Amino acid sequence: MPELRRDPVSGRWVIIATERGKRPSDYPSPPPRKMDSKFCPFCPGNEAATPPEVWSLRAPGTGPNEPGWTVRAIPNKYPALRIEGELNREGVGIYDKMNGIGAHEVVIETPHHHENLVDLSTSRIADVMAVCQERVNDLIKDDRFRYVMLFKNQGESAGASLEHSHTQLIATPVVPKRVLEEMEGAKRYYADKERCIFCDILRQERSDGERIVDQSESFIAYAPFASRFPFEVWIVPRPHQPVFRSMGEAHRLEFAEILRRTLLRIKFTLNNPDYNYMFHSAPFGHETTSEYHWHLEIIPKLTRVAGFEWGTGFYINPTSPEEAAECLRNARLDEGTTETPVPAGAAEGIH
Amino acid sequence: MPELRRDPVSGRWVIIATERGKRPSDYPSPPPRKMDSKFCPFCPGNEAATPPEVWSLRAPGTGPNEPGWTVRAIPNKYPALRIEGELNREGVGIYDKMNGIGAHEVVIETPHHHENLVDLSTSRIADVMAVCQERVNDLIKDDRFRYVMLFKNQGESAGASLEHSHTQLIATPVVPKRVLEEMEGAKRYYADKERCIFCDILRQERSDGERIVDQSESFIAYAPFASRFPFEVWIVPRPHQPVFRSMGEAHRLEFAEILRRTLLRIKFTLNNPDYNYMFHSAPFGHETTSEYHWHLEIIPKLTRVAGFEWGTGFYINPTSPEEAAECLRNARLDEGTTETPVPAGAAEGIH
């Protein structure tokens, strides 16, 4: 059973997940450069190689754990946190710990092994997002959980261990430190001004203009003023919305479109880099807060985090966000996508 | 001129260092796997390729910026922060910024290109540490600075851009967020108990025993209870000492010995992995605090930080610290070092 542990000085929680790696010899040195793509458990036909699916969008007439799906959500076979059991909080002398209760799921974004999220049409990206929302909305019913982090590791240098394109969800029994910090910062601002800090940031970004990457009626993609990483881009809804999971269909399609365009800009500008994205959304119980505003953070993997960053939490970013935004804004998007046709009607049936 | 910028939500500061990288095409994709070792600016004979040295340990009769040194401190040729100018703090609408005043120096640990810190004798490691202390003690005289982070990136995957073994110092005009958080956590504990939290941790670690990696009369090396990374090791002085830079000669030799042994344990246990180390020491003005206790954090590069960690500040560590400590404790250290002889008398003269 994995464990959650808290650093008594910084308050930082970590997961001690002993089932995932273990012995020194399990750590290749240097790490392998190519992911094994001989057998892919995420490809259609190999459904039995994964835990049974918890949700899918699939063609009418096909059943669970059969081919015919376009988006498929499954529990992670090697979860960082386990769904079974009761949550126990306990002290060990000066230290605090909890057992590692949580959930760890994977949303397989496409049936095609070599297709990435950026290659999908807007409506298929919207389908992926709909499945992500569905899973978060299901997991919040479990009152042992305080937060669900929805994130993507695209490519090996971004931490992906399987090549087939997927997004992950991890539900945690505590609100993570970084989310708490953001909430606290946003609360302090609101207490002072009675305005959402993200709404104010969007107003300033639209007025300054120089960090804007893309925008649509309800969304802005911009390079944040204090970008930690080169070409970091955040996508934020213009209307005040605390949580991602409540977004309706019209907004979802619009979000899918600006996400697709932003990923294409990054792909063309930076020669298809690996990247991570992370959804930041208000914790459970804060669905209607005026203080917090959901957003997506995208960080291309271009630099390495080194000792200075680890020691200080201070990041060295070699490209200004203004310059990054200019490059991304000017990217030509007319090179087209490389989408593979989907089975007819596949997106219609919901299992 | 680089800039410091603060994220208005989390309070996190970043350095926007536009002189260091810049255009999309400056980011190789994928990153180069081998560091260029054709011309090394850190090798003896190439002293003119670096900015003039600010300190060195060298053989009697040799002059600054000539061969004959064993440890050499120089300003970084491509600094993240600049030493020249006055510190200006300014608001930009909702944002805060400062100009990028600071210092960025390199301590070259050995004249031999292929020798690493772990290969040096205890007394030579102590010399490296003495030069680091010397540089910190010099930089604190500059009242624009609030902190000096002393760290090492060993190997390319740990962020090193030059192969020749070196440690770095970055002086910052603000106390970094992660240091503040540690200070605040330690202060809260002290306010409650009137005891240093690190002293209490050491007491518990010595009593538990299972996370101890090595110890000597005045130092303990252990795998922290809430290790973020597999085989993370901290070295902490047993007597209460707030700052690294004040350590005297006897303690320095003892510290060098436990550092050497710990690095050897990591090298033999994990097949010579890349690693980072970071010194955590009380900020300027807190040299005699009862609340904070300096220590060295060593993190071997074995896993990749991915979307979940970036989004939450929550780390997934696949090896328990108890198991890591056991492996490291049991490492055989009798395989000997591969030290290259130093020029006779080289360590005696101080320039």
Residue B326 has pLDDT above 60, yes or no: yes
Residue A167 has pLDDT above 90, yes or no: yes
The string of pLDDT tens digits covering residues B222-266 is 999 988 888 999 999 999 999 999 999 999 999 999 999 999 999
CA B204 to CA B213: how far, in whole Å? 14
Taking the alpha carbons at both ends of chain A, their separation in whole angstroms is 31
Judging contacts by C-beta atoms under 8 Å, the chain B residues touching residue A155 are none
Q: Can you tell me the ipTM of this complex?
A: 0.85
Assess contact for B231 and A25: CB atoms under 8 A.
no
Residue A322 has pLDDT above 60, yes or no: yes
Select the residue from A312, A317, A326, A330 to test the B interface by mutation, using most B Cβ atoms within 10 A: A312
Q: Where do we find the tokens 């061969």? A: B67
Helices B321-329 and B249-269: crossing angle in degrees, nearest 10, is 100
Q: Domains, chain B, ranges and CATH?
A: 3-20+36-176 (3.30.428.10), 178-329 (3.30.428.10)
Assess contact for B333 and B262: CB atoms under 8 A.
no
Assess contact for B12 and A313: CB atoms under 8 A.
yes
Residue A86, token pair as written in the block: 């009761």
The answer to whether residue A100 neighbours chain B at the CB level (below 8 Å) is no
**In 3-state terms, what secondary structure has residue B201?**
helix
The residues, any chain, with a CB within 8 Å of residue B233's CB and separated by 6 or more, are B213, B221, B222, B223, B262, B266, B297, B298, B324, B328
The string of pLDDT tens digits covering residues B281-290 is 999 989 899 9
pLDDT, mean of residues A172-184: 86
* Maximum C-alpha span of chain B: 61
The answer to whether residue B67 neighbours chain A at the CB level (below 8 Å) is no
**In 3-state terms, what secondary structure has residue B218?**
coil
Judging contacts by C-beta atoms under 8 Å, the chain B residues touching residue A313 are 12, 176-178, 181
Pick the more confident residue, A65 or B12.
A65
Closest CA to B137 of B297, B281, B291: B281
Q: Give the one of B8, B147, B311 whose C-beta lies nearest to A149's C-beta.
A: B311
The string of pLDDT tens digits covering residues B136-176 is 999 999 999 999 999 999 998 899 989 999 999 999 888 88
Judging contacts by C-beta atoms under 8 Å, the chain B residues touching residue A21 are 230, 303, 318-319
B166 is catalytic: yes
A193, B43, B65, B193, B278 from B46: Cα distances, Å? 58, 6, 9, 54, 28
Nearest-by-CA chain A residue for B293: A9
Give residue B342's pLDDT: 44
The answer to whether residue A91 neighbours chain B at the CB level (below 8 Å) is no
pLDDT, mean of residues A82-102: 83
Judging contacts by C-beta atoms under 8 Å, the chain A residues touching residue B152 are 307
Test A8 with B197 for CB contact under 8 angstroms. Answer: yes
The string of pLDDT tens digits covering residues A203-248 is 999 999 999 999 999 999 999 998 888 899 999 999 999 999 999 9
Give residue B266's pLDDT: 94
Test A5 with B226 for CB contact under 8 angstroms. Answer: yes
**In 3-state terms, what secondary structure has residue B259?**
helix
